[in-house]
Structure 1
Amino acid sequence: MKVLIVVPHYGEKDFYYMPLGMTYVSAYLKSKGYDVFFLNLNHHPFSRLREVLQEVRFDAVTTGGLFIHMRPLRAIVETAKIYNPGAKIILGGAVATGDPKFILEELKPDFLTIGEAEWTIDQLLQAIGNKSDFNQVKGIAFMENGNFVRTTPQELIEPLDSLPYPDYEGFEFSHYLDHFAENVQHLAPVRGNIKNRRVGMVISSRDCASKCTFCFRIMGGTYRVRSVENVMGELRYLVENHRINEVYLMDDMFAAKKDRIREFCKELKQLGLPWQCQVRVTSVDDEMLGLMKDAGCYLISFGFESGSKEVLRSMKKGTTPVLIERAIELSLKHKITAQGNFIFGDPAETIETMNDTIDFTRKFKKLCVGYGTVIPYPGTSLYFNLIERGKLTDRLRFHEDSRCQLFNMTNMPELDFKYLVRRVTTENHLRMVWRSGKLRNVKKIDKNAWSMDIRCHHCNGWNENCKLDFRFGELVVCKHCYQRTFADITDIRFMNLQVICRRYFYRYIMSWIVATPQRFRKLYPLVLWFGSVKRSMIQLDKDIKGLKMRMKYALQVLTKNAPMPQPETAAASSSLAAGPAAVINEKGYAQRIEVDSKKKEKLRAGYFDEAYQGIVEKI
């Protein structure tokens, strides 16, 4: 059987994280004898998909991703239906598992794979080839006679060592390393030459045994590991064949088993590469961090989430503020960069718990942490609870527009929740001020780049000759203590008046407004007025991209239920007659458009001419 695996375009120009799930599926299917063609649309234009679909008659086209990838996934599904109508379209990943019935109704693929896909997609392809009963295939979902069908769950894959290494060649991993390097100018003081940084992303275990309410576990919550020997074999392969010089262990629970960590550290030390990982605060102890630092670990990502006992209990984190504090102190002791986020808006959140968390983080002003709000990811209890309460009514817009993913899931009044959001935003800006180090020897070396010495706000050590392009941030990692510090870009020598005004606004004005909920309630109309004035004076003429996105969404809403016509029908859309039509937009996506004759001129002027004029003929 001929199978096409398509990686959707993630919309990132400079860097994106490698989709390991698809590379595992590709490698597994190849090991089973399938004729697999792997197409990465982050490396090729969308037109390449149309060419491939016209050149080869595939039996199946498979793709997948996260819920935020709805638009590119829709484009792949609809294009496959037009150019290879005989192929079965299979969708997998978190987007398929989180809310399968909605995805089937909205994107209309033939099948969804639920959970781990390697065994499931093999069995599904066999059923397609043999024309057997799909109800006997475990771990899939599909529509049958208008009814939603979800089969019994697939068994979890064990042992994980039985799976082949990911299909790095099909994914074009060398091209990825050469052209999609993450901008890490902040690591220059501790890593030296970062221009040749080549990171191997490896997962040494699957799933997470925790039951956090805000996190969606695609595989069901059963923690399984690969042997250290198997993982090291993959790393040596990447060193020899793709010249990686750094390792990112992407496990959710890398340090869950201490004996395994000791063995890992021994092997990683012999490999001689710097590495980073993700660790739960409950797994941290002095001995383990000492071994990890000695083996080359320079960065640990923690899931802090909250400084309130009540909120942590509601989240089912299984941690306490005391354990979080211990993890931070031990990381500082061993000079390992620690990073993590605190998220607000859990159902148990109150003004008091928010203040508890902010007061807790202020004890570690010099630590690099971020603040955010809880997002109810599809598949989580938070997501389905919002639907049941009638708060999430437009699921399509929720999936496609990140501005529509903030909900008040607490018991707080709406105005208090708005206060919480503003307070969190302000605190983020204040932490940048607190963590800004003094500068000296400032020199402009390019249009957007500067060279300077930066004093670490944590240990007061100087980091000489730091080269920063402020388009990619103003962070550096101190070479003395390995903690992150900001360059003080409010320095008048940089002449970035917009940034200076914003920083001082949050430091002196917004911080005063949000100091108490009572003051915020009184001054909230002033905050709204100031925001509208700022947008009209600063953003209006610069928000072309946002305008296009809004117009694009408006067109999609107009045509939500319009059928996708065949190519010969689509060619007629150049006349802009009223009714549904298909076009290929500026990124090559097949897209439905319905032109309202009464609003035709407005649509033409606002979006249609710029994005679509002269492109319809390419069909």
Structure 2
Amino acid sequence: MKYLLVAQSLKKYTDLEEYCMPLGIAYINGAMRSCGFDVDAINMLFEDDPLEALRSRIMDKKIDVLMCGGLTSEYKVLKQIYSIAREANPNIIIVGGGGGFTSEPILFSEMTGVDYAVIGEGEVTNCELAYALDFDEDVSGIKGLVYCAEDGYHQNEAREYVKDLDSLPFPSYEGLSMDKYLDYQNVDGWYNYYAYYSDEPRLMPMLMARSCPFQCSFCFHPIGKGYRSRSLDNFFQELDVWVDKYHINGIALVDECFSIDKKRVIEFCERIEPYHLAWACQMRAETYTDDVLYAMKKSGCIGACFGIESMSETVLKNMNKHLSEKTIETALDLTYKYKLGCTGNLIFGSEAETFKTMSESLKWHRTHAKMHRNRPIRQFSYVQTYPGSIFYNNAFQRNVITSKKEYIETGNWDLNITSLSEEDYVAMGDVIRLCRRENYNKGKIIGIKIIDDKKVDFHFQCSYCGNENYYRNMNRSRFTEGKIKRLGCRHCNMLGDYVLDPERFLYDEYIAIPWFLSEIDIRIPTNYFSDNNWRRVGICGMNAFAKKVIKEIKNNGVIDVVYIYDYWKRNDFDYYGVPLITGEEELPTVDVVINCDLAYWKDMYEHLIKMGCTTQILYLETLLREWNEFEKQ
């Protein structure tokens, strides 16, 4: 049998700023090659026409077995790939694997129509299956396998997870385009970790351990619940191979709990230092100590991520995080002391989430920024209710998910598992989106030099340490949104934003957020509208902020809110009976328009002007600031 291992994607690498070389398929590649199977591999991301390249490879190489897996979120991509494979070879055998199949073994196999699915770790199971296929043997005894029979899919006994990671062959990148992956990296890209440490980064992911000893409610570990690490001898033997073969200058450690063993971390630092490589990792906040971070910094570490997720004790408990605000603050203090980059996320929408708990997290975020001149949060988002997670299983038991199949087919993991109404849950999303638009440690732009139609050199001053940085060969696409986000400083490793269009980003943070969450009370001054002879008001931007300001206007007096307008209709809210207008409909005559599209106010403003609006347009964020100052007087 001829086997084709597929690293799947329907996008091109040159179109992405974020991509990490998949380790799972590389480990299976290494395992199958070490056992002598006839294996080829393809990374679709590096093909001009991914699906056509896959079709050609199957036909040209006369492939008998396709091995390609993914997450439940990649369901539609997998369906396309499997369909192309069967068009290229109607008799091809398709083997699935990865998180999607492991989270729902029978269901996801039925949905994708595979012949076999490998559940959990794949190195041993794939090889045993390949042996059975080569010699036409029975597969019913292969552990960790789902197979399709005449009467449907059957799931064999689970396979024990690999306890001795040193026993596995090193991953193989033959056919997976590792050279291209490294050659195409950019100073401003994200390849499992930021690559700002060099104008010519060659950052390679390397496995240090598997799984996690903690069981956060939103997380799912498809490679088993038992946390296990490689020996350092084994790790550095592999590192020597890649340094020699690929000339890497940085490594991203794949280990969710790298710092859980203090003695091991310090030994790692002592051994990695002579390589003069930049490296980054993931850590647990409670493991941060002076001696550990000192050793990390000395040995070339540029940063460590740890999951913050929430700063509400109620939510952290619901997430099963086993962390406290004090622990997180201590960890952040140490990263600032040793000038190590540190990023985390705030995710909203856990089962225990309310506007009060959301407010607790965002209050901490703003207070921390004022105290430390740094915002460590890289991303704001909803909790993603992934199949296989505790939240997912609870949602199904509570009938929030009524059909697992439909839920996976839809592919929308922003599921309301809170006790909030759907309208309030959507409003929480409006707050999240506005948080993303706030300026993140805004630094100073010193100079921009356009090299060609794709590359730009960028000279800037870090807002945290004040040192200057000069980035060469940045992607020009980063200069099209009015702000360059999350650039790392090579002196202090803090991330910052650099605003190119000050009009588009008028304010570093939005007072509308604490106003909406009722942290601050801002009222429309008495007679504000009547003193300006405004009797008829138009509202633009259908969102939670618009709904609240409509309520405030109606409470202010006899003011007629004539319409609320947006590019497209959102049925998420009841705007107190105000007529909804969308698209290119002509807007009724009013005395003033309030632009409530806070995140993209300038786009809305320019759109209204293009539509022929001659009425004065006021920006809600500016109004809130004026009203707040008026109350203070």
Tell me which interval the TM-score lies in, with the shorter structure as reference length.
0.7 to 0.9
Q: Is the 8 A contact 1:160 1:224 kept in 2?
A: yes
Identify the residue that residue 391 of structure 2 maps to in structure 1: 382
**How has the CA–CA distance of structure 1 residues 388 and 72 changed in structure 2, closer, same or farther, with 3 Å as cutoff?**
same
AA matched with 2:441 = R
Q: Which structure has the greater CA radius of gyration?
A: 2
Identify the residue that residue 594 of structure 2 maps to in structure 1: none
**How has the CA–CA distance of structure 1 residues 133 and 452 changed in structure 2, closer, same or farther, with 3 Å as cutoff?**
closer
SS at match of 2:83: helix
Identify the residue that residue 117 of structure 1 maps to in structure 2: 122
What whole-Å deviation, never above 9, does each CA across 1:389-411 have from its counterpart, x for those lacking one? 44435656654666x32111101
Identify the residue that residue 413 of structure 2 maps to in structure 1: 405
**What CA distance in whole angstroms lies between the structure 2 residues aligned with 1:287 and 1:298?**
16
**How has the CA–CA distance of structure 1 residues 37 and 185 changed in structure 2, closer, same or farther, with 3 Å as cutoff?**
closer
Identify the residue that residue 477 of structure 1 maps to in structure 2: 488
Q: Is the 8 A contact 2:187 2:471 kept in 1?
A: no
**What CA distance in whole angstroms lies between the structure 2 residues aligned with 1:312 and 1:53?**
48
**What CA distance in whole angstroms lies between the structure 2 residues aligned with 1:30 and 1:185?**
30
Q: Is the 8 A contact 2:355 2:517 kept in 1?
A: no
Report the CA distance between 1:474 and its aligned residue: 3.7
The range that moved more, 107-116 or 55-64, is: 55-64
Q: Is the 8 A contact 2:218 2:386 kept in 1?
A: yes
**What CA distance in whole angstroms lies between the structure 2 residues aligned with 1:288 and 1:530?**
55
Q: 37, 40, 63: which is aligned to 2:40? A: 37
Structure 1 vs Structure 2 CA RMSD: 3.3
Q: 302, 312, 335: which is aligned to 1:298? A: 302
Identify the residue that residue 156 of structure 2 maps to in structure 1: 151
**What CA distance in whole angstroms lies between the structure 1 residues aligned with 2:150 and 2:384?**
34
User: Which ranges in structure 1 are unaligned for 5 or more consecutive residues?
Assistant: 492-499, 543-619
**How has the CA–CA distance of structure 1 residues 50 and 395 changed in structure 2, closer, same or farther, with 3 Å as cutoff?**
same
**What CA distance in whole angstroms lies between the structure 2 residues aligned with 1:181 and 1:341?**
23
What whole-Å deviation, never above 9, does each CA across 1:50-91 have from its counterpart, x for those lacking one? 223223444421111222222231122122223323332110
Q: Is the 8 A contact 2:219 2:390 kept in 1?
A: no
The range that moved more, 198-207 or 44-53, is: 44-53
AA matched with 2:348 = F
Q: Is the 8 A contact 1:454 1:464 kept in 2?
A: yes
AA matched with 2:375 = L
**What CA distance in whole angstroms lies between the structure 2 residues aligned with 1:74 and 1:182?**
34
Q: Is the 8 A contact 2:459 2:470 kept in 1?
A: yes
Report the CA distance between 1:207 and its aligned residue: 1.1
Q: List aligned pairs for 1:360-379, cutoff 5 A.
A: 360-365=364-369, 366-369=374-377, 370-379=379-388
SS at match of 2:81: helix
Q: Is the 8 A contact 1:297 1:336 kept in 2?
A: yes
Q: 425, 429, 433: which is aligned to 1:421? A: 429
User: Which ranges in structure 2 are unaligned for 5 or more consecutive residues?
Assistant: 479-483, 523-542, 551-562, 570-581, 585-602, 608-633
**What CA distance in whole angstroms lies between the structure 1 residues aligned with 2:383 and 2:128?**
37
**What CA distance in whole angstroms lies between the structure 2 residues aligned with 1:135 and 1:189?**
46
Identity of aligned residues (%): 28
Asked if 1:507 corresponds to 2:515, the answer is no
Q: List aligned pairs for 1:599-614, cutoff 5 A.
A: none
Identify the residue that residue 160 of structure 1 maps to in structure 2: 165
**How has the CA–CA distance of structure 1 residues 328 and 37 changed in structure 2, closer, same or farther, with 3 Å as cutoff?**
same
Q: Is the 8 A contact 2:215 2:320 kept in 1?
A: yes
Asked if 1:93 corresponds to 2:81, the answer is no
Q: 52, 57, 69: which is aligned to 1:52? A: 57
Asked if 1:437 corresponds to 2:443, the answer is yes
Q: Is the 8 A contact 1:440 1:454 kept in 2?
A: yes
What whole-Å deviation, never above 9, does each CA across 1:110-137 have from its counterpart, x for those lacking one? 0110000011112222333343332211
Report the CA distance between 1:524 and its aligned residue: 2.1
Identify the residue that residue 343 of structure 2 maps to in structure 1: 339
SS at match of 2:30: helix
Q: Is the 8 A contact 2:97 2:118 kept in 1?
A: yes
Q: Is the 8 A contact 1:212 1:317 kept in 2?
A: yes
**How has the CA–CA distance of structure 1 residues 10 and 263 changed in structure 2, closer, same or farther, with 3 Å as cutoff?**
farther
**How has the CA–CA distance of structure 1 residues 385 and 503 changed in structure 2, closer, same or farther, with 3 Å as cutoff?**
farther
AA matched with 2:89 = N
**How has the CA–CA distance of structure 1 residues 479 and 38 changed in structure 2, closer, same or farther, with 3 Å as cutoff?**
closer
**What CA distance in whole angstroms lies between the structure 1 residues aligned with 2:282 and 2:62?**
42
**What CA distance in whole angstroms lies between the structure 1 residues aligned with 2:194 and 2:257?**
28
**What CA distance in whole angstroms lies between the structure 1 residues aligned with 2:519 and 2:333?**
30
Report the CA distance between 1:485 and its aligned residue: 1.8
AA matched with 2:68 = T
Asked if 1:458 corresponds to 2:464, the answer is yes
Report the CA distance between 1:11 and its aligned residue: 2.0
Length, aligned pairs only: 527
SS at match of 2:25: helix
**What CA distance in whole angstroms lies between the structure 2 residues aligned with 1:59 and 1:435?**
54
Report the CA distance between 1:445 and its aligned residue: 6.8
SS at match of 1:307: coil
Q: Is the 8 A contact 1:199 1:247 kept in 2?
A: yes
Report the CA distance between 1:353 and its aligned residue: 1.2
Q: 304, 328, 344: which is aligned to 2:332? A: 328
Q: TM-score, normalised by structure 2?
A: 0.76
**How has the CA–CA distance of structure 1 residues 425 and 156 changed in structure 2, closer, same or farther, with 3 Å as cutoff?**
same
Q: Is the 8 A contact 1:338 1:367 kept in 2?
A: no
Identify the residue that residue 21 of structure 1 maps to in structure 2: 24
Report the CA distance between 1:25 and its aligned residue: 0.5
